[in-house]
Amino acid sequence: MTTKKKIMLDGRDRRILDVLQRDALTPVAEIAERVGLTATPCWRRIQRMEKAGVIRGRVALLDPVALNVPVSVFVAVRTSTHSAAWVEQFRRAVDAIPEIVEAYRMSGEIDYLLRVVVPDIAGYDAVYKRLIGAIELADVTSSFSMEELKHTTALPLEHAPTTG
């Protein structure tokens, strides 16, 4: 488990992060060359950022079409209950449904926003039935994505705290 502590990043750290978030399999020697370091100091920087929690993990990005979950559904959830116990039950219900790949507590009229990936409308209906069977909801509104215009996991780095 990583220990999270705030760290300041310099330009090289940010360039290292840029390379890693685009391809986490890039060899350290190649990253080092791209950012103007040798491999050992580059590796130390990566380890420092992992220990601080800046780098939370390294994953493979999978193709939803190849895995037969090409449909994204955005689900707006409203509840009339806002107790800690209800939130915990909702969190457990969401965690138990693998098709729910993102979940956010929102401000405004919608309490929670979910992104669900499924093969088709029938697949979404099954997810919907599991969700409403697991927890009481006041209102559920679903919107099917017609076209993905942009999807990236790369975070903007220009806002990261820097050493100067």
CB 42, CB 32: distance < 8 Å: yes
User: In this predicted model, what pLDDT tens digit does every residue of 88-133 receive, in sequence order?
Assistant: 999 999 999 999 999 999 999 999 999 999 999 999 999 999 999 9
Task: Please check whether residue 63 is in contact with residue 78, taking contact to mean a CB–CB distance below 8 angstroms.
Answer: no
Burial of 131 (0-12, 13-18, 19+ CB in 10 A): buried
pTM strictly above 0.85? yes
* Measured CA angle at 57 (ends 55, 58), to 5 deg: 110
Nearest to 157 by CA among 54, 39, 47, 31: 54
Domains and CATH numbers, the chain: 1-59 (1.10.10.10), 71-144 (3.30.70.920)
